[in-house]
Structure 1
Amino acid sequence: MTETAVTETAGRTPDAALRADGVGRVFGRGANEVHALRDVSLVARAGELLVVRGPSGSGKTTLLNILGGLDRPTSGEVVLAGERTLSAMRERDVLQVRRREIGYVFQSFGLVPVLSAAENVEVPLRLQGVEPRERAERVARALALVGLDAHAAQRPYELSGGQQQRVGIARALVAEPAVLIADEPTGQLDSGTAATVMDLVREVVHERGVAAVVSTHDPLLVQRADRVVELHDGRVVQPG
């Protein structure tokens, strides 16, 4: 692992799946203005696990929301592979990108309680209008990838926290996205389970060539990164 935090240089990078160039995000106005991000530049490369670390309130979630198209920057831009500027797209086009090219893993798991593991994983494919037989095949592959093929019929309350997060990872990967965004994906897990989940993410990233951006403040999980970017007060900084 390369543990040196770096301030990425904006500009074209041949293997970049996702790039942030001078991204800033301001909430509020006037005396109530809060600069959540200031001039953040970074590159997420295919086949690489990039960890964004920093204390609570450092801007990690805001940055990941912008990288994933859930929010728009106040300044700067987010660029996808092929030099498509995500932050300048119409909302309906951003929605299509989120459905087809970006997978999300959430700290709170985000599973639908009344759906089985397989049905939860299937949701992105239903939104894309994928044919039923293909949906079933891809869901089965995704659950097998995370080691839960034997738990396909179980609902979230019948699964452990680690298993629920594995379902979340399978759901994020079932559409075969180029980019995986994970915001504190192990925040609700014990250290042993968290390490197992992060090992799974790293394995998938390396084997499938996915560009993963994962936020965490856990130093044990940072050790599994290929590269680390550290945020403090909305800025990328060198490690202390």
Structure 2
Amino acid sequence: MTTSPALSGRDLTRVFTTPSGDVHALTEVSLEVHPGELLVVRGPSGSGKTTLLNLLGGLDRPTSGEVWIGDAELTAMSEGDLLDVRRRRLSYIFQSFGLIPVLSAAENVEVPLRLVETPGEERDRRVQQALELVGLGPHANQRPYELSGGQQQRVGIARALASEPEILIADEPTGQLDSATAATIMDLLSELVHERGLAAVVSTHDPLLMHRADRVLELHDGHAQRRGRHSAA
């Protein structure tokens, strides 16, 4: 690709100190993700996928190494500046959906827009547009318990898209879904990334989802094992 990376990690290392000793969750992992590119991070449980995504999303800080969004270094920012970046430039999709049970689908999507004080008319437009993008326009007034697992995850995706982020990070977004619904969600994410020019990092342990990726990064025991363009062969 000729564009500059939207998101990059440079020699990311994360060590957790425990009573029984240091745990090296991630060791000198580097990557770049460009606009319009879907990078899938693959690996078994405990391989460091969530740790990596938490670092890239600014939810945690590395023991050493750097995270950059464009030409801004996340790892050098104050907590206030980092919070602003998380609210305005990147969005996170969680495996557990992360929806507020008492709020409707539309109200859940609206939450991050209220946090950045988006004006009401613009907020309504973005919420409606995001729900329609994920095929949930008719379900705007339903609460999470009235929706299937796949529909709940679509609400989570709509919420992530409503803030019009540059970067999308999804940690095992299909982990609680059956295989058919998981494939549908991954197809949706791939379509949105390529149509909207997002830079996306999605973690999964499901090898059947690999062909949706533009590139794959494999982790094993906190180390990057292989990276490159996915081939269906």
Pick the TM interval, shorter chain: over 0.9
Distance 1:29 1:187 in 2: 28
Determine helix, strand or coil for the equivalent of 2:6.
strand
Aligned partner of 1:25: which letter? Answer: R
Larger RCO: 1 or 2 (CA < 8 Å, sep 6+): 1
Q: What RMSD over aligned residues (CA atoms) do the two structures have, in Å?
A: 1.2
Q: 1:57 aligns with which of 23, 33, 46?
A: 46
**Alignment gaps of 5+ in structure 1:** 1-12
2:221 is aligned with 1:229: no
Distance 1:30 1:121 in 2: 40
CA offsets, 1:50-104, max 9 Å, x none?
00000000000000000000000000000111x1110110000000000001111
Distance 1:30 1:107 in 2: 29
What is the TM-score when the length of structure 2 is the normalising length?
0.95
Partner of 2:189: 201
CA offsets, 1:128-160, max 9 Å, x none?
001111110110000000000000000000000
Q: 2:207 aligns with which of 207, 219, 223?
A: 219
Partner of 1:118: 106
Distance 2:149 2:34 in 1: 29
What is the TM-score when the length of structure 1 is the normalising length?
0.92
Determine helix, strand or coil for the equivalent of 1:223.
helix
Aligned partner of 2:6: which letter? Answer: A
Q: Shift in Å at residue 31 of structure 1?
A: 5.2
Q: Shift in Å at residue 223 of structure 1?
A: 1.5
Q: 1:43 aligns with which of 9, 28, 32?
A: 32
CA offsets, 1:161-210, max 9 Å, x none?
00000000000010000000000000000000000000000000000000
2:177 is aligned with 1:189: yes
Q: 2:60 aligns with which of 71, 82, 92?
A: 71
**Alignment gaps of 5+ in structure 2:** 228-233
Q: Shift in Å at residue 44 of structure 1?
A: 1.1
Moved segments of 4+, more than 3 Å:
none
For the 8 Å contact 2:3–2:35, the answer to whether it is kept is no
Partner of 1:6: none
Q: Shift in Å at residue 29 of structure 1?
A: 5.7
Aligned partner of 1:128: which letter? Answer: V
Q: Shift in Å at residue 238 of structure 1?
A: 2.5
Distance 1:178 1:238 in 2: 26
Distance 1:218 1:158 in 2: 27
Q: Which deviates the most, 183-192 or 29-38? A: 29-38
Aligned pairs for 1:126-141 (under 5 A) are 126-141=114-129
Distance 1:110 1:31 in 2: 32
Aligned residues with identical type, % of pairs: 69
Partner of 1:28: 17
| Residue-pair matches, total | 226
